[in-house]
Amino acid sequence: MTTDIPTLVNRLCYRYPSTLVDAVTEHEAGRRVVAVKNVTVNEEFFQGHFPGTPLLPAVLMLESWSQAAAILLLQRDDGAAAYVGDQVVAEAELLLGIVPDRTEIDSTALVHPNARIGQGTVIGPHATVGANVTIGDNCHVGASAVIDGWTTIGDETRIHPFASIGQIPQDLKFRGEPSTLVIGKRNIFREFVTIHRGTQGGGGVTSIGDRNVFMAYVHVAHDCQVGNDTIFGNMATLGGHVTVQDFANISAGSGVHQFCRVGRHAFVGGYSVVTKDALPYARTVGSRPARIFGVNTIGLMRRGVSADVVSKLKRTFRYLLQSKLNTTSALRRIEQDRTLACSEVTQLIEFVRTSQRGVILRRASRRAEEVLADE
């Protein structure tokens, strides 16, 4: 009796051109299967195997048997055999291993058939996953979360309920052109976070690195570039085309204007408004305008930066903020001071010199420093 061949063959993980089972003509569940692989003398492997005496290579026979055995789900321990007519021409005992599919998709979730979901990923109730989405292994998508667009999400990422990942940008120039969102590994997106994919005018890609934390209601606009190990407090917002470098901390309610940068190990205080580049290794706080409150000492120490480097950064900021030199002269003086030589100071100098919007160099008043310390 001929069985439902398409259904059986579709159970194989193999796809063209690697499929070596063309048909299943007999199938007794858990006991026996008869499969067919059609070949012709025009197959390229017959040209050298062997001239004048075409013979299917043994490695292809083994692969064909393995694929046929997979149809039985390894419920049978007997060997496999190949026939020409009624004559056995090859036989083997196969030892195969099964990797169970640990993916869990709630019955109420709407996951497009073309979406690619990694092993061990859990998708919760009423979540929506679009056709062009790729989700890595061991991820978790919470209830009613939406992931859409040309979006790639790395392994072990957690997306909490009602987050919206990969939607079209809030840019009036956007006309539906293909653009992408690329997210690395082990990120956390809490409730109601919104991350938008890129635009053609901004390079077409919004990218987020590894091990970042986005607390509730954070918004990351189109074409932003976020590094690794950053933390965004509740309701922090990035305008379009913003770059946030590694280990930066943007506190609750803060906003970063489009095209600005936030440097490495920078700390942006709560409810601040950043309209120029926020310096690396510094504490930037305030809105009228934002000011520099010295080196991000606590953050640097927590990240394992040595006391010697912190001291060099403090002396560097004195040149920039207290020396009464203009920025160009201050940078030149810093480079001439060999006691400040370290990679962190070099990075700070490069950050200032490559700024397109200018950097925040306004020093906080003594009274503001005292208020911040009291808090």
Residues classed as catalytic: 222-223, 240
Whole-number Å distance between alpha carbons of 269 and 265: 13
Query: Residues of 312-329 as b/e, b for ≥16 C-beta within 10 angstroms?
Result: bbeebbebbbeeeeeeee
Cross-strand bridge partners of residue 356: none
C-alpha separations of 163 from 1, 108, 189, 193, 219 in Å: 51, 17, 7, 5, 10
Contact 149, 176 (CB under 8 A): no
Q: How far apart are CA 159 and CA 208, in angstroms?
A: 14
Q: Report which residue type is found at 356.
A: Q
Tell me how far apart the alpha carbons of residues 249 and 137 are, in angstroms, rounded to a whole number.
27
Buried residues in 260-270 as b, exposed as e (16+ CB within 10 A): bbbbbbbbbbe
DSSP state of 359: B
